[in-house]
Structures are given as structure tokens and as C-alpha cells.
Amino acid sequence: MSTEAQDLQQTRVVILGGGPGGYEAALVARRWGADVTIVERQGLGGAAVLTDVVPSKTLIATAEWMTRFGHAEEFGIRPADDTIGMVEDANDVIRVDLDVVNKRVLGLAAAQSADIRGRLERVGVRIVVGSGRLDGVQRVVVEGVGPDDAREVLDADVILVSTGATPRVLPAGQPDGERILTWTQLYNLTALPERLIVVGSGVTGAEFAGAYNALGADVVLISSRDRVLPGEDPDAAAVIEEVFKDRGMEVMSRSRAKSAVRTDDGVEVTLEDGRTVRGSHVLLALGSIPNTAGIGLEEAGVRLGDGGHIKVDRVSRTSARGVYAAGDCTTGLPLASVAAMQGRIAMAHALGDTVSPLDPATVCATIFTTPEIATVGYNEDQLKAVGTAYLVSMLPLKGNPRAKMLGLQYGFVKLYAHSVTGVLLGGVVVAHRASELIFPITLAFAHRLTADEVAESFTVYPSLSGTVAEVARMLHKHRD
């Protein structure tokens, strides 16, 4: 047990996991004067900063530059006179040094982690390096503290579990970190894969497939469903699949991988129907498994779902008194933004602040393909399921003057509104920087603005956001 002096009036908060859910919760708890300890075994920021969100989006940002360069000639940007006629495509002029790219990726992740640690230490959060498990609802046992693997027991009035998740793998395809990889291991590569097989066409698979294709790798995307991004808006998914194919990617739909093994010079993936696919590397993008096993949750009375996710309510409470949970280890949406919000809400609730319960419908999400897909609110299937009277309007971006200036060929804006009240019910944006364009739609949805109120607001001319207002005007026209 810690021997440090402690104000007995302080609420003792122990947080398992230093990712977005954990460190955001810690900051809120400290503002309320709680005594806060974070237990983290890898580094502050968790997987989101060290191996997932920050590294992947940094890699994707590099891939974006390659995509832009590939269209440079359309803008009148050409090689120097002495190379004209010698260049067939962008890769003959510029190539990716993946070793340098990955060193930058990991360097930025480490810097972000250090920034988070510095901020937490400045506000008085204690950081313990090790693996924690619950010993009931008011005690956490930490193993592996310090160079001697010491054991420490932390008493707690409030516990927040934010332990994240790890990549799911094939039983007959165990990652080796060299040829058979999870997305956490890609950053060890020093050279671009000659032929990368991506197993899984969900968000992670689509993002990495698109990025490595743009960086110059030959990519095969294996999808067990009839299209890529099966859980997303069908129109948006269709655009991304069209882009992938136009850029030379091989997309194998309705193809489920059974195994992945190393060969003398690469890998071989066997499908359930007996076909085989050969490549230099394979990325397993099959979703994730919550890090909830073996940390004393069920013994403490914390109920888990069938997949091992912690069941939480809208203020992040678990079934055990005084135990909260946030992030990918819970039944909430697996997004860093949601983890952070869950953590903030948990501490506000635990420490007596007023709190607005999390509303999943207000969560805006982005898939960082090129173009990006951003969504908020209800989708069409959900609206049909509840029987809501709605209208839908959509415009392609190719008619937008700013899109033409930027050379954007793909994308659209789609809005849903209630057919009687005109209140916005949801939106989908497929565009360059859709992650930014979704914000005004998110504000409108969160504050129950009508399509007319969006349409009557000024937008800059020319701008991509002009299409958002135009689609809103089209919804007014439908209601006349």
C-alpha cells in the first residue's frame, strides 16, 4: 500500500489504463480535487496514441501526399524539362522510404505520449507502471512496478477500467511481426511490402489497404462480405470500393480467410473455399478483443457481454458499485473520442458534478480512407426500423466549385431530415477532409436544428461546406 501522505477527505480514484478514457478521466478527477492514480503498462495515451489512432492516421497523412502527387500534372505541375518523356507515373519521380515514414510515425506517437504524461504529472496525477487487477470494488493490485517487478496495493473509492482492446487474429494465422502482421506491428517494417494481403474490409482494413495502395504497394483486400465497409452507409462504401478498384487494388468480395502461413519468400492465405492468395506480407484486420480477461472483473461483480466487453450504462457505470468503465473494453462505440467522453462522464458522475448521459446518436465518426467517410446521427436503416417519417437528399461533390479547384473527383453530402418538422436526423459526408465537414452537421443534429436553419446560414464561396447548405435547401424544396 502506498505510504505517501494523503488527505483523508480526498476521493481516491484508481484508473486502469492510460488511454483516452483513462487520461481524460484523470484530468477531470484532478480538477475536482480527487487523489488520482493511473496504472498503465505500455505508455500514456495507450494503444490509441502508441499503436493505433495516432500512428495509423500519421501513416495515412503520408499516403495522402502520394495521392496528391499522382494528380500533380492535372494542376500543371510537371517534372523538370530534362525528365519530360522519361516519367510514366508518380512513382518514377518520387518513392516512399517506409523506414523513414515509420520512424516519423513512431516518433510522433512517442512525443504525443510524452506530452500526455507531462500534463498529467503537472496536475498531480500519480502514474504507476504495471498491470492492475481488481481485488473487489475498492482495491487494485498492481504487478510489475519498477525494476524489481514489485507489487503494490491501491485502495480506491472509485475505480475506472479503461484497458482497451487487442487485435483479433486467425487461429490458423498467428502473427510473427515480420510477414504475418497485426496493425500494431506494421510500423516495424523498413521497406514497402511488394504485395500486401489485407484480411478484413472493415474500417481498419479499408484504411490500411487504401494507405498502402497510395504509398505504392500492390494490395489485395479480402472481404468476407459482398462489399467493403459492410457496416457503413452503402453509398459511401460504394464510392470507396470504386476508388480502390480505380487505383489498381484487387478487392476479393465474399471471400473468407481460413489461414495464413509463411512461405519461403512471403505468405500464403488460404480461403475457406480452398483458393489461395500469395503475397509478401499479410495484415490481419479482423477486429479486436477487449482486454478484460484475468483482471478480476467478474469476481468483483462486473458483468461482461458475450464478447468479453464490459456492460456500461450511459454514465459509464458498470454493475459493480463504484466501478466505472470507458473505451474499447466496453460495449460503447470503439472510438477514441467516445472513450474520452465516457471517461469524463464517469468522473463527473462519480464525483458529484452534473452530467449529461452519453447519447450514441450524437457521436460523429470518420473513416480515414481517401476520400474520408464521416457520419453522425441516424442512418437510413435505423430510421426505417423505428418508423420515423423522413426525407433524404444527396448531392455529389463533383459539381462543387471548390471541389473542382482541388481536383476532387469522388464524394457526396447526404442529409436526413424529419419530413414534418424538418429537424436534421443524420448525415453522411464522403469527401477530402470529411472529418472537418461533418462538424457543422454534428452541431445541427445535436441542437435539433432544422434543414431550413442550416440552409439559411452563410457559407463561404467557394467552399466544400457550400454543398452542405445546398443539400439542406433541397430538403426544404421536398417539403413544399
163-174 pLDDT per residue, tens: 999 999 999 999
Q: Give the separation between CA 288 and CA 237, rounded to whole angstroms.
A: 21
Report yes or no: 216 and 196 within 8 Å, Cβ to Cβ.
Answer: no
Asked if pLDDT for residue 345 goes beyond 60, the answer is yes
Query: How far is Cα of residue 395 from the mean position of the Cα atoms in its chain?
Result: 26
Asked if pLDDT for residue 350 goes beyond 90, the answer is yes
pLDDT computed for residue 10 by the predictor: 85
Report yes or no: 128 and 39 within 8 Å, Cβ to Cβ.
Answer: yes
pLDDT computed for residue 422 by the predictor: 96
Q: How do residues 364-414 score in pLDDT, each as one tens digit? A: 999 999 999 999 999 999 999 999 999 999 999 999 999 999 999 999 999
Kindly indicate the confidence band of residue 8, based on its pLDDT and cuts at 50, 70 and 90: low
Stretch 91-116: mean pLDDT: 90
Asked if pLDDT for residue 479 goes beyond 90, the answer is no
Asked if pLDDT for residue 342 goes beyond 90, the answer is yes
Asked if pLDDT for residue 87 goes beyond 50, the answer is no
Q: What is the overall mean pLDDT for the chain? A: 93
Asked if pLDDT for residue 2 goes beyond 90, the answer is no
Stretch 47-56: mean pLDDT: 94
Stretch 118-137: mean pLDDT: 97
Q: How do residues 248-269 score in pLDDT, each as one tens digit? A: 999 999 999 999 999 999 999 9
Which pTM does this prediction carry?
0.92
Output phi, psi for 277, to 5 deg. Answer: -130, 125
CA dihedral 412, 416, 419, 421 (to 10 degrees): -120
pLDDT computed for residue 244 by the predictor: 97
pLDDT computed for residue 346 by the predictor: 98
Q: How do residues 429-461 score in pLDDT, each as one tens digit? A: 999 999 999 999 999 999 999 999 999 999 999
pLDDT computed for residue 1 by the predictor: 43
